[in-house]
Structure 1
Amino acid sequence: MAYEFVYESESKRYRSDCSNVLKETCELLKEKGISAQFSLVGSGARNMITRNGDGPYDLDYNLLVMKADNEYRDPRLLKDTIRNALNKAVGGKFFSDAQDSTSCLTAILYFEKSPDIKFKFDVAITTKNKNGNYMRLIHNKNVYALGWDQYTWNEVPNSHQVKNKADKLKKKGVWQEVRGKYLEKKNMYLSWQDHNHPSFVVYVEAVNEIYNRYFDRRVVPCEIVFRF
């Protein structure tokens, strides 16, 4: 099996449903002392939604925590609070309760007449560090410290200017190269059975690689030889 792109028209309905759920989630979090905003990860926002063969496809969102009460310095409490808010928001909207995976929360949509999974959306909990890079909240379920699962904030390298870089590439007219690189990397990690590169990380890698090709070329000094 391999990843392929999904037509934008096919995903339009689900983008609307997810947006409504996440708007409600953010309102519920505000009542809990957490200021957050959601955004469709660059891969989906720029018509780069993928599906693995004939399987279900998903939309990837970042939930950016901008400000939170001091008690949420505990990342376990932060993720549990966000998961509970998301579960409340999806209630009665055909989605399952959010599953807590390593790097995101996943809600699955089941169709009434079929038990098969048709669609799911993943929500990565993020914040930004002092350098402006994104940090993803990771739940390491197989690492135990003092009897607890481990929660850590992992930096996404070179992610602080990814939107500006993407805009510049699109303006230059080379966005198809980004799409091609993104799909190539998704399938590369799939073939390696590498589950540590979610869509947002792959997207950042693809944008940076193509951006460096066009805008960040290093000037190599020429060697000048004088002949007498």
Structure 2
Amino acid sequence: MAYEFVCESEAKRYCSDCSRTLKKTCELLRTKGISAQFSLVGSGARNMITRNGDGPYDLDYNLLIMKAEERYWNDLRLLKETVRNALNRAERREFFSDAQDSTSCLTALLHFKDIPNVEFSFDVAITTKNKNGNYMRLIHNKNVYALGLDQYTWNEVPNSHQVKDRADKLKRAGLWQKVRDRYLEKKNMYLFRQDHNHPSFVVYVEAVNEVYSRYFNRGGGYSVQSIF
């Protein structure tokens, strides 16, 4: 199996269902003292939705935490659980299963009553921005369970603060297909490696930065680094 792009019009209904659910999630979070906004990964880009073979559509969203009460910053487990509970409450308005807590995101599956198979899943990564403007992803490190620990941390996505401006410049220069090609190549590379530490947003940032460096910063010493 390998990732392929999906026609935007084909996935329109699914995007609409997810957006409605996430809008309700943000409303519920506001009552809990959390101000957040959501965006489809690469939302400023077109035709970046993928699926793995005949598998579910791969819809990936960022939930950006803009403001929150101090207790959430001091207890990241509480922050993620509050978001998960709000998402689950919002999902009951649709046909989604409860969100599952993975390392770097919350994953929900969509079912239709007349079709037992999963139509698509969507991932919601909880993010914020640091003082340098780079995105930070909330990570639940499950590899420390054997030690009796349960670790929640913010992981920085390097070189992500300029990704929108760079994406816009690449589009204006007619280079967006290069980004799409590189994005798909990298998603399939990580799939082949069984590397689950590079969710779509990280892959998107890497693809934009690599193509930008190739065409606008030749010999300028720019490098793209993995966050892991």
Are residue 211 (structure 1) and residue 219 (structure 2) matched?
A: no
Aligned length: 220
Can you give the 5+ residue segments of structure 1 that lack an aligned partner in the other structure? 221-228
Letter in 1 for 2:4: E
Aligned to 1:101: 102
Q: Confirm or deny that 1:121 pairs with 2:122.
A: yes
Contact in 1 for aligned 2:95/2:110 (Cα 8 Å): yes
Q: 1:61-80 maps to which residues of 2 (within 5 A)?
A: 61-73=61-73, 74-80=75-81
Distance 1:114 1:44, change over 3 A: farther
CA distance in 1, matches of 2:29, 2:43: 26
SS at match of 1:96: coil
Cα deviation 1:97-139 (Å, max 9, x = unaligned): 1111111011110121222111111100000011110000011
**1:43·1:200 contact (CA, 8 Å) conserved in 2?**
no
Q: What is the rounded CA distance, in whole Å, between the counterparts of 2:211 and 2:26 in structure 1?
A: 34
Instruction: Give distance in 2, aligned partners of 1:101 and 1:90.
Output: 17
Query: CA offsets, 1:145-190, max 9 Å, x none?
Result: 9733111111111100101100000000010010000111111111
* Aligned amino acid, residue 181 of structure 1: R
Q: Report the Cα distance in structure 2 between the residues aligned to 1:209 and 1:56, rounded to whole angstroms.
A: 28
How many angstroms does 1:24 deviate by? Answer: 0.8
| TM-score, scaled relative to structure 2 | 0.92
**Largest Rg, 1 or 2:** 1
**Contact 1:66/1:127 (8 A) holds in 2:** yes
Shift of 1:96: 0.7
Question: Is 1:56 equivalent to 2:51 in the alignment?
Answer: no
Please say if residues 103 and 138 of structure 1, whose CA atoms lie closer than 8 Å, have aligned partners that are also in contact: yes
Do 1:50 and 1:57's aligned partners in 2 also have CA atoms closer than 8 Å? yes
Aligned position for 2:42? 42
- Residues 177, 138 of structure 1: CA spacing in aligned structure 2 closer, same or farther, 3 A cutoff? same
State TM-score, norm by structure 1: 0.92
Deviations 1:167-222 (A, max 9, x none): 000000010010000111111111111111100000000000000111112369xx
In 1, Cα distance between equivalents of 2:105 and 2:45: 18
Which string of whole-angstrom CA distances, capped at 9 and with x for unpartnered residues, describes residues 68-107 of structure 1?
Answer: 0011021000000000111111113111111111110111
C-alpha separation in 2, matches of 1:219 and 1:105: 38
Cα distance in 2 between the residues matched to 1:146 and 1:50 = 37
- 153 and 145 in structure 1: CA distance in 2 versus 1, 3 angstrom threshold: farther
Q: What is the identity percentage for the equivalent residue pairs of Structure 1 and Structure 2?
A: 79
The residue number in structure 2 matching 1:32 is: 32
Unaligned runs of 5+ in 2: 222-228
Q: Map residues 1-228 of structure 1 onto 2, 5 A cutoff.
A: 1-42=1-42, 45-73=45-73, 74-144=75-145, 147-218=148-219
- Judge conservation of contact 2:52–2:58 (CA < 8 Å) in 1: no
Aligned to 2:226: none
